[in-house]
Structure 1
Amino acid sequence: MKISIRYKLLIYMTVNIFIFALLLYGSNIFFAEKYYMSNKKSNLIETGKKISKLIAEKSPSYELDDSNLIYEIESVEKEIGGTIYVGTLDGELYYPLKNKPTPPTIEADKGSPFFKYDNNFNFPFKSNLEPPEKPEPAIKNWERYDKNSFFIVMRDPQYKIETLRYQTHLDNGLELLIWITMTGISENATISNNLTAIVGGITIIITVIWALFVSSRFTRPISEMNRITKKISELDFSQTLQVKKNDEIGELSYSINQLSYNLDNAIRELNIKNRYLEEDIEHERKLDKMRQQFISDVSHELKTPIFLIQGYADGLKANVATDEYKRNFYCDVIMEETEKMNMLIKDLLDLSKMQSGFFSVNKTNFNVSFLIKSIVSKYDYIFKEKNICMKVAVEEELIGEADPIRIEQIIVNFMNNAIEHIDDKKIIKLSINLKGNKIRVSVFNSGLPIPEESIDKIWSSFYKIDKARTRIIGGTGLGLSIVRAIQEAHKCAYGVENLYDGVEFWFEIDLAKKI
């Protein structure tokens, strides 16, 4: 069974107070009366010394006729609440002088307040200072103090009271007897025991109530700490402890808050690093996949021309071509495939430079309109040969800020791509539009739209929508990758759009600042 620390603290405090009250009550029962008796005996001894000193100073003789001395003895009597006798063992009293009741005594000494003893300080009823084997009922106990003094406890059968007597032999030969009733001693002990029992009971009740309050105040922050630490173990750092005390519990609360804060930050940073690591791993996987795909694509692109070159070269060596026409044909094929390989390698080198970070563009101001017109003029023969309708919409005197050689490379790639994918309508349109501080160059060709799933992929190296058709018409699949690299180096936008009657590729360059 689980017992909370609050109830443990309550039980410990209650048990401690109960044991303390029990010990106090027991000590009152067994030791209070003895303590009172010892205290009274000490008082009687001191009183005896005081009276003896007064008598020795003021009345060296047996006659106590000094009124001041009598007054002082009476004052001492009132102070101790007892009775004093001064006289001889024979029963002659010098104080009090008359009309003074004598204390209860035994039958043998009736009429005399003093117990008689011989010169060796022996009582007549027993020698060697020992009480009789069967003492008379009036004597309860006696105790010798020194060679001249002793204490006797007696009980008055008539009044049923007990008295404590202190009798001592003075230096002048007189006997001094001081006695007090023991009713006060017993009553005080009884009252003390009863009071201790009542106070003990009240103390236990108050302690239980106070322990409940203190234990609640003491354990509440501990319970709150337990709740918060459970939240922390569940990785919930949203709650904190309210530090209200400047003590060990307050310091522990502050430490738990710091632990929660530090763990929250550490886990948050770890999650961020893990996310970056996952992104890096994913990026590395993509790069590895791209490398594998790149190697596969390059191998595929080189395999066919090498195979053709090897085949036709073997044919020439074996004199398969028996006439001049066939030999020229074989040589043309070898040269054509060699040129394709040369273009592929050139494009790969350009793309490698652009992607390695060592590629840079040389920006300058140039006439974009003039560049477009010069490029279009180079394609006049091809347009006529293929019966292509070429439309040019160019604004005059548009000055751009870019690398003109790389911009010409982009336009040529777009033009070649348009020629390769044109449909039976055979329409190509090249236009320039001014958009704010940007010049947008667009190349449109009539033809089939690009599938949506390929829109983003066509900018990757060696990606071909229709590989069989591209193989027939030529192309390495690197043109658009080069366009992407050039535009990223210029930090300008590029893209492609499917229109209702064809496809339009576009790119932007900065408009030259006016001087």
Structure 2
Amino acid sequence: MKHSIRRQMTAIFIGLFAFVLGGVLMINNGFLGSYYLSHKTQDLIKTYNQINETIRDGNLTDDTVQNQIVIRAERANIDLVVIDAKGDAIVRTLSVDDPRFKEMLVGILGLNTIQAESVLRQTDMYTVYRSASDMTGGEMEYLRMWGRFSDGSWFLMQSPLASIEESASLANQFLIYLGIVGMILGGFFVWLFSRRITQPLMELTRLSQEMANLNFDARYTRGGEDEIGILGRNYNRMSEQLEKTISELKSVNNQLQKDIEQKEKLEDMRNEFLGNVSHELKTPIALIQGYAEGLREGVNDDPESREFYCDVIMDEADKMNRMVKNLLTLNQLEFGSDEVQFERFDIVGLVSGVIASCEILIQQAEASVDFVADEKLYVWADEFKTEQVVRNYLTNAIHHVENERRIEVRIIRDGDKARITVFNSGKPIPEEDIPKLWDKFYKVDKAHTREYGGNGIGLSIVKAIMESFRQKYGVKNYDNGVAFWFELDAKTVMENEDKGSQNTSLH
């Protein structure tokens, strides 16, 4: 393969090796000379400290000690001469006839000619500097150190400096040859051993192709505890899970077929719904028919009786009309055909408007309404549907208010939520009836509901609207009444008006 991992690994290895080799060559050229010179300087200072310590101990005149000093200096490739106050050489590493010895003596005489740029290190006791000389039959560069010891004796040490440039060049040539051999051998071994990685990957590739063809019997068999081995085991587990999932999908498909075959049950549900509707319409239709026949037969000829008959007929017709409208609204909500239009509006203003519109009903029920809320609280919801929820809660509270005949509407802010609660004093709802309140046509007190014209659909509409909002709603019993509530997403009020609260009683 043109872009195989083996080729990429080999190319990466050779490129990395070449990069490291290039870096070593650059460092060798730039810093080898400084390192070499620093190392030789440390050798001279170390030798000086050893001799100075021997002088302090008073052992320099000992022949054995002198021999040890000479041996250490020669091992470090250092020429040494120590001259006492009388001018006698008490320690030296070179014979008198050695040209280097004569050169050192001449160097002592010419110490005052040392160039400042040649000095590498200088203290009160010694000076280290570089010096070139050609007295040895060819130009030679030395690293020299001269000064005095603690007893006042003088010394001169020197160590020849090999050609640093030449040494660096030779070292670089050696590194290049070694690097070329290393790249060739390393590239070969990388190419060879990369098979241990590429062959398992090729098997995984084959396995993925089999899985793509929905053949889940293929398995990764090479094993191993490295990353590829773990990947292979995960492939095997994924293959098993896919096979299991496809089997489950087939089972679900079969179940779906069964559901399609049971569509007759939906027809039964429709028939049940129509039965409930016909049951609810039976009473108002019978009343309308009876009073209409009474009018036709002239049961009572006085104007008051005829007006009463007409009022009953109109009232029952209005109840049927409202029930049909509610059923249509509920049907649209439950089947999702009525779209929700989210917008930002003031829930306090909306609730205040609903309360004002129900003023006549409140007066007829001889009730009082306490409205507790901030001046403004903005929420995100469908304003028209929210009004339906508030109106259903409020009319429900009006129809069931008892005892002190008090209704309290409260809006509170809780974090990012606004909770709207409608409380009415009266009898608490039996606990066994609470889960059924939101069902269609369910009535806790059928006689009382019939009395004010209820049909058991209002709370079902509330349930459908709040579920379309994806918000919470519910009911809570108290000792002296019942509170229905729902929540909406609240936002910060963007008004410059002063905030306050109102507690308005409507009678």
Shorter-normalised TM-score: what interval? 0.3 to 0.5
Give the TM-score of the pair, scaled to structure 2. Answer: 0.47
| TM-score between the two structures when normalised by the length of structure 1 | 0.46
